[in-house]
């Protein structure tokens, strides 16, 4: 009877129920708090857990979205991290239709600690570089150099080096049926002429050595095509025109930037000319790497972007600590063929994973 | 404890409080979280205000350059002050956050811009036309950059806020779900508590109903467990328990008194039967006592007339003896009357048997008035004569001795007759020898005497018989209880109701 009383005693049930209720409410509140805390952690990470740096550098790219610039930015960021500096990729202010020149002005106005830019060879750019210099902001040029500007250092490859490298690869593609070789340039690139001359000399010298003229009676025609980039899509159209027209269709098409390389490759695939037009590409974009892997593009030349980013930062750091830096830092030019394309694929995957 | 009404009110109040409390807790929690989020996301400076202020500065410069009005200059300085205050709130450090770095850029650009603006104003003041034109050009360019930068920051924040909105929505959904679950649980628990509490009220009622039903069916051997509280039900349960107990007691008492009455009636019936039996025996003697003692009276008168004195006495005593039988047949009588009858009887016997019996009395003073049933003593004496002395070859003696002992009057009738064996005594006392079959007898046996005494005094063991053995005489003792104050309600004086028979 007593046992029964204990079991059914209203007091026990009552306090038990109250306790259960309290537990449920507390659990809900704890869950809610935890949830909110987790959200705050995730969403506000960039505002709350920021790291403060000593210096602020900017990279002003030609095109923010291009893989080349993304790669440079990535390696520069990694290098800057080591030197307690922050790198900003300045070039995607959606609101203003700004050119790299405008971004130069902005960077100077924002009083950053260093600028990395590819100069376009214009007087305006030189003035902007000079203005930065006056404001005590060191400017490092990459890919292209403007020796007449007051840049502190150039990180890249020289045009002789580039021309010779292209020449060597062209020679490997030339065969008895090669009649025409076209080299694509974009207006505004400094040293286009120099590269072209160097390239032409390298090819012709090589062919002479091989006795091409004796065998074929005639040397292949090497011409350059400078695309006047009036608007964004001009290059693509010009390349297609060139390929469609039988008179102007080259046997070897040499590209000097990554956009041209992809446009040319797409055109060749579209017109079913794979095999009859050899493209010598530039830079390790996904499309070009795929093409090399399939054998549709025999070779691509690519600068070592990792070196480019790292050396730029090192030059800036050197300038800030020593007051001077070497005016030229050479980066390697790599040749991607079907044999070594796997290595680039690997590094790209790694970098892609990091970013 | 509380009354049922208070209990019910308390239960509902408790339920309401619980729901209210849970609601407060849940909504308090939601509110708190929202405020927290608000605080985290609130921008210290409103970007649109900043843009407005910047536009104001630029506009004032333009106006000052065109009109050189002092008003615009005043406005310009006010706006610059305000703008500088706003800039103070922007981040100035190099940190790895897109928004923060943009804030830093805006801050630095704005500082530069203010310098240019000041330069423009100063050039205008100094009427340096080329100077202020160039400076204004730079200032305008920077103005454009800053506006764009603020716009970019704004859109970044907008993007972030949209994400925050999503997050908030998500968390609110979670809370909504959680609240719903908690509410459902609270309702379930409330119902449980309600059920339990109400059961504490209704369970005693239910048990009361069941018990009442059982009582109605005649089962009084139940007892409700005490109600836990002292509420109305508790009171009713107590009352019910008391009522059942009282009814049970009453029934027991009634049964006892009924049994007692029954017993009394039985006793009276027996008494009557015994008397009837006695009377029957007289009748069996086929003598009409009235006729007999009337005749005897006539005989006595005749004897007087004839001067036969002894005959006259004899007949008179005979008449007395029979009259006593008739008159006192159904009454209690005094011991003195009984002794007198015995005297008469012995006289008659001595006349009949020419003085063979020596009768001696020894009576303690003050016992004669004690009352006892009639016709008790004579049968005992008769028994002594018939069984003790008749067969004896020697001179027969009978001693009657009456004395008080404790609260009894002992009537001892002793003879020096044939005596009795112990077995015989036991047989007589146990009433196994029922009837005196001697022809020469008044018809009343010792067994009849014993039974009547027991019925009259409602007590056993009132007759004792002693004998030294065959030839050693016998003593019969009657132990008559003496009425004492506060003693048995049936005193020897009391007449059994309805036993009086009118004299004939």
Domain boundaries, chain A: 3-48, 55-157+305-332, 159-303
Interface touch B182/A28, C-beta < 8 Å = yes
d(CA B362, CA B496): 30
Contact at CB, B25 and A93, closer than 8 angstroms: no
What per-residue confidence (pLDDT) applies to B501? 35
Strand B408-415, strand B474-481: pairing: antiparallel
Q: Are the Cβ atoms of A96 and B178 closer than 8 angstroms? A: no
> Residue A247 phi/psi, 5° resolution?
-65, -35
Q: pLDDT tier at A7 (50, 70, 90 boundaries)? A: very low
* CATH superfamily ID and name for A55-157+305-332: Response regulator (3.40.50.2300)
Residue found under tokens 């020289």: A158
**Distances in Å between the alpha carbon of A233 and those of A25, A186, A187, A269, B314?**
62, 13, 14, 18, 182
Residue of chain A whose Cα is closest to the Cα of B103: A110
B interface test, pick of A1, A6, A16, A28 with most B CB neighbours within 10 Å: A28
CA distance A115 to chain B (A): 14
Residue B182 to residue A95, Cβ atoms within 8 A: no
Instruction: Read off the tokens for A297.
Output: 């593009």
Choose the weakest-confidence range: A85-99, A104-118, B25-39, B246-260: B25-39
Q: Nearest by CB to B94, from A36, A86, A109: name it.
A: A86
CB contact under 8 A, A21 and B22: yes
Q: Is B189 helix (H, G, I), strand (E, B) or coil?
A: helix
Residue B196 to residue A56, Cβ atoms within 8 A: no
* Other Cβ atoms closer than 10 A to A84: 13
Question: A155 in helix, strand or coil?
Answer: strand
Contacts of B44 (CB under 8 A, 6+ apart): B89
Position A5 scores a pLDDT of 45
Q: Which helix (H) or strand (E) element contains residue B361?
A: strand B357-363
CB-CB neighbours of A289 under 10 Å: 21
Q: What is the CA radius of gyration of chain B?
A: 67
- Which of A31, A39, A50 lies nearest to residue B96, judging by beta carbons? A50
Contact A50 B36 (CB under 8 A): no
**Residues of chain A with C-beta less than 8 angstroms from the C-beta of B181:** 28
CA distance B129 to B78: 25
| pTM for this entry | 0.57
What is the 3-class SS of A27-68, one letter each residue? HHHHHHHHHHHHHHHHHCHHHHCCCEECEEEEEECCCCCCHH
Task: Supply A134's token pair.
Answer: 């006056």
Q: How many CB atoms lie within 10 A of CB B275?
A: 20
pLDDT confidence of residue B228: 63
Residue B415: how many other CB atoms lie within 10 Å: 25
Token match 């500088």: residue? B84
User: Which of A27, A288, A294, A274 has its CA nearest to residue B22?
Assistant: A27
Instruction: Give the CATH fold of the A159-303 domain.
Output: Rossmann fold (3.40.50)
CA angle B343, B344, B345 (to 5 degrees): 90
Q: What is the pLDDT along chain B (504 residues), one digit of tens a residue?
A: 677 788 788 878 887 887 888 788 878 877 876 776 666 566 555 788 899 999 999 999 999 998 988 899 999 999 999 999 999 988 888 888 888 889 999 999 999 999 999 999 999 988 888 988 999 998 999 999 999 999 888 888 777 777 767 766 777 787 778 778 878 887 887 788 788 878 877 888 888 888 888 888 888 777 777 766 667 778 888 888 888 889 889 999 999 999 999 999 888 888 877 777 776 666 555 556 677 777 888 888 888 888 888 888 888 888 888 777 766 555 678 889 889 889 988 888 888 877 778 889 999 888 888 888 888 888 888 888 888 888 888 888 999 999 998 888 999 999 988 888 888 888 888 877 655 454 556 656 788 888 888 888 888 888 999 888 888 889 999 998 886 543 344 444 444 433 333 333
- Which position has the token pair 């004690």? B370
CA distance B152 to B183: 45
Within 8 A of A46 by CB-CB distance, chain B residues are: 96-100
Least confident of A78-87, A232-241, A318-327: A232-241
Q: How many Cα atoms within 13 Å fall on the side-chain side of residue B382?
A: 24
**Dihedral, CA atoms, B374, B378, B382, B383, nearest 10 degrees?**
60
- Smallest Cβ–Cβ distance between B94 and the set A17, A53, A102 belongs to A53
> Are A55-157+305-332 and A159-303 in the same CATH fold?
yes
Sheet holding A333-337, edge to edge: A221-227, A180-186, A252-254, A278-282, A299-303, A333-337
> What is the spatial distance between Cα B2 and Cα B10, in angstroms, rounded to a whole number?
10
For an interface test with A, give the residue of B29, B44, B101, B228 to mutate (most A CBs within 10 A).
B101
C-alpha A311/C-alpha A288 separation (Å) is: 26
Mutate to test the interface with B, among A25, A34, A124 (most CBs of B within 10 A): A25
- The Cα of A110 is separated from the nearest Cα of chain B by a number of Å equal to 4
β-strands A278-282, A221-227 pairing: unpaired
Cβ contact A17–B175 (<8 Å): no
CA–CA separation, B290 and B354 (whole Å): 27
Query: CA A103, CA A91: separation in Å to the nearest integer?
Result: 7
A323 contacts: CB under 8 Å, gap ≥ 6: none
> B93 contacts in A (CB within 8 Å)?
52
Cα gap B218→A238, rounded to integer Å:
118
Q: Are A159 and A334 in contact (CB under 8 A)?
A: no
* A38/chain B closest Cα distance in angstroms: 11
Q: Give the phi and the psi of residue B134 in degrees, each rounded to 5.
A: -65, -45
User: What is the reported pLDDT for B477?
Assistant: 92
CB pairs under 8 A between A and B: 132
Q: What is the largest CA-CA distance in chain A?
A: 122
Whether the pLDDT of residue A267 is over 50: the answer is yes
Q: Cα separation of A346 and A290, whole Å?
A: 13
Contact B174 A32 (CB under 8 A): yes
Q: Could you give the residue ranges of the DSSP H alpha helices within chain A? A: 2-8, 10-43, 45-48, 67-82, 100-109, 123-134, 159-173, 192-210, 212-216, 234-244, 258-270, 286-294, 305-322, 341-354
The C-alpha atoms of residue B216 and residue B414 are separated, in whole angstroms, by 65
Which residues of chain A are at the B interface, by a Cβ-Cβ cutoff of 8 Å? Answer: 10, 13-14, 17-18, 20-21, 24-25, 28-29, 31-33, 35-36, 39-40, 43-44, 46-47, 50-56, 85-86, 88, 93-96, 98, 102, 105-106, 109-112
The whole-number pLDDT of residue B495 equals 40
Question: How many angstroms separate the CA atoms of B23 and B31, rounded?
Answer: 12
- CB-CB under 8 Å, B112 with A39: no
Is the ipTM here above 0.85?
Answer: no
Best residue in A19, A96, A109, A320 for a mutation probing chain B (most B CBs within 10 Å): A109
| Proportion of chain A above pLDDT 70, given as a percent | 88
In order, the DSSP letters of B96-126 are: S-HHHHHHHHHHHHHHHHHHHHHHHHHHHHT
Three-state SS for A139? Answer: strand
Mutation target for B interface from A21, A29, A30, A34: give the one with most B CBs within 10 A. Answer: A21
Nearest CB among B99, B101, B192 relative to A86 is that of: B101
Do A184 and A256 meet the contact criterion of CB atoms below 8 Å apart? yes
The answer to whether the CB atoms of B37 and A106 lie below 8 A apart is no
- Asked if B174 and A24 come within 8 Å (Cβ–Cβ), the reply is no
Among B93, B142, B189, whose Cβ lies nearest the Cβ of A109? B142
Tell me the chain B residues in contact with residue A12 when contact means C-beta distances shorter than 8 Å. none
Cα separation, B211 vs B228, whole angstroms: 17
Distance (Å) from the alpha carbon of A286 to chain B's nearest alpha carbon: 27
Closest C-alpha to B293, from B327, B343, B341, B329: B327
CB spacing of A25 vs B182 below 8 angstroms: yes
**If you compute the radius of gyration of chain A from its CA atoms, what whole number of angstroms results?**
30
Q: Check CB contact under 8 Å for B192 and A17.
A: yes
Nearest Cα residue in chain A from B106: A110
> CB-CB: which of B36, B96, B167 is closest to A43?
B167
- Residue B224 has φ and ψ, to the nearest 5°, of -75, 140
- Using a CB-CB cut-off of 8 Å, the residues of chain A touching B160 are 43
pLDDT at position B41, please? Answer: 60
Q: Phi, psi (5° rounding) for residue B444?
A: -105, 120
B119/B31 Cα distance (integer angstroms): 51
The pLDDT of residue B330 is: 57
């Amino acid at each position: 009877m007593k046992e029964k009383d204990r079991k059914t005693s209203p007091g026990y049930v009552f306090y038990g129920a109250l306790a259960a209720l309290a537990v449920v409410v507390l659990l809900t509140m704890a869950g809610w708090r935890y949830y909110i805390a987790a959200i705050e952690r995730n969403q506000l990470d960039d505002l709350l857990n920021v790291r403060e740096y000593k210096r602020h550098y900017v990279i002003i790219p030609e095109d923010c979205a291009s893989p080349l610039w993304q790669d440079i930015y990535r390696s520069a960021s990694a290098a800057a991290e080591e030197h307690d500096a922050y790198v900003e990729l300045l070039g995607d202010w959606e609101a203003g239709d700004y050119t790299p020149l405008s971004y130069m002005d902005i960077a100077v106005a924002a009083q950053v600690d260093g600028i990395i830019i590819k100069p376009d060879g214009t007087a305006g750019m030189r003035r902007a570089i000079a203005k930065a210099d006056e404001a005590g902001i060191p400017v490092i040029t990459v890919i292209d150099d403007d020796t007449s500007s007051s840049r502190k250092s150039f990180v890249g490859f020289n045009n002789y080096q580039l021309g010779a490298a292209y020449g060597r690869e062209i020679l490997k593609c030339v065969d008895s049926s090669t009649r025409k070789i076209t080299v694509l340039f974009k207006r505004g690139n400094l040293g286009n002429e120099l590269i072209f001359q160097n390239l032409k000399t390298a090819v012709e010298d090589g062919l002479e050595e091989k006795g091409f003229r004796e065998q074929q009676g005639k040397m292949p025609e090497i011409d350059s095509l400078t695309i006047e980039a009036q608007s964004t899509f001009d290059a693509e159209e010009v390349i297609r025109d060139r390929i469609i027209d039988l008179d102007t269709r080259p046997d070897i098409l040499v590209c000097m930037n990554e956009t041209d390389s992809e446009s040319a490759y797409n055109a060749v695939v579209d017109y079913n000319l794979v095999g009859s037009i050899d493209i010598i590409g530039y830079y390790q974009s996904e499309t070009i790497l795929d093409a090399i892997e399939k054998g549709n593009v025999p070779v691509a030349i690519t600068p070592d972007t990792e070196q480019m980013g790292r050396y730029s930062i090192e030059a800036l750091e050197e300038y800030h600590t020593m007051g001077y830096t070497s005016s030229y830092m050479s980066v390697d030019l790599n040749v991607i063929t079907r044999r070594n394309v796997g290595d680039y694929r690997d590094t790209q995957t790694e970098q892609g994973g990091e970013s | 404890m509380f009354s049922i009404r208070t209990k019910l009110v308390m239960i509902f109040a408790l339920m309401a409080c619980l729901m209210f409390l849970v609601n407060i807790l849940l909504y308090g929690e939601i509110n708190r979280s929202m405020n927290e989020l608000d605080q985290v996301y609130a921008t210290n400076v409103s970007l649109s205000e900043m843009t407005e202020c910047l536009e104001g500065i630029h506009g004032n410069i333009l106006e000052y350059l065109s009109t050189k009005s002092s008003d615009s200059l005043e406005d310009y300085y006010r706006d610059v002050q305000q703008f500088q205050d706003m800039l103070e709130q922007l981040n100035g450090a190099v940190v790895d956050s897109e928004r923060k770095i943009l804030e830093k850029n805006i801050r630095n650009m704005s500082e530069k811009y203010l310098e240019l603006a000041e330069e423009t104003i100063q050039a205008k003041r100094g009427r340096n036309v080329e100077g202020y034109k160039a400076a204004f050009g730079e200032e305008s360019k920077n103005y454009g950059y800053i506006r764009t930068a603020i716009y970019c920051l704004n859109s970044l924040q907008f993007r972030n806020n949209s994400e925050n909105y999503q997050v908030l929505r998500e968390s609110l959904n979670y809370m909504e779900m959680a609240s719903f679950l908690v509410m459902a649980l609270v309702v379930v628990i409330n119902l449980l508590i309600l059920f339990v509490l109400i059961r504490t009220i209704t369970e005693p009622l239910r048990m009361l109903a069941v018990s009442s039903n059982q009582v109605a069916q005649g089962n009084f051997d139940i007892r409700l467990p005490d109600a836990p509280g002292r509420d109305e039900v508790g009171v009713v349960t107590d009352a019910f328990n008391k009522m059942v107990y009282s009814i049970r007691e009453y029934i027991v008492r009634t049964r006892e008194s009924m049994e007692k009455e029954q017993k009394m009636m039985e006793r009276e019936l027996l008494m009557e039967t015994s008397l009837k039996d006695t009377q029957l025996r007289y009748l069996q003697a086929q003598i009409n006592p009235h006729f007999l003692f009337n005749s005897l009276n006539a005989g006595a008168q005749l004897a007087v007339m004839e001067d036969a004195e002894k005959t006259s006495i004899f007949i008179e005593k005979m008449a007395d003896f029979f009259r006593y039988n008739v008159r006192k047949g159904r009454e209690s009588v005094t011991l003195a009357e009984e002794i007198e009858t015995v005297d008469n009887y012995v006289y008659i016997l001595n006349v009949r048997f020419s003085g063979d019996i020596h009768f001696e009395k020894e009576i303690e003073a003050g016992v004669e008035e004690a009352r006892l049933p009639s016709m008790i003593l004579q049968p005992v004496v008769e028994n002594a004569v018939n069984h003790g002395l008749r067969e004896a070859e020697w001179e027969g003696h009978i001693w009657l001795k009456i004395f008080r002992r404790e609260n009894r009057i002992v009537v001892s009738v002793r003879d020096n007759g044939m005596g009795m064996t112990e077995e015989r005594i036991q047989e007589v006392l146990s009433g196994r020898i029922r009837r005196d079959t001697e022809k020469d007898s008044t018809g009343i046996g010792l067994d009849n005497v014993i039974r009547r005494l027991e019925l009259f005094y409602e007590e056993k063991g009132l007759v004792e018989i002693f004998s030294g053995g065959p030839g050693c005489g016998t003593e019969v003792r009657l132990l008559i209880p003496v009425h004492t104050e506060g003693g048995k309600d049936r005193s020897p004086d009391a007449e059994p109701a309805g036993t009086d028979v009118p004299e004939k």
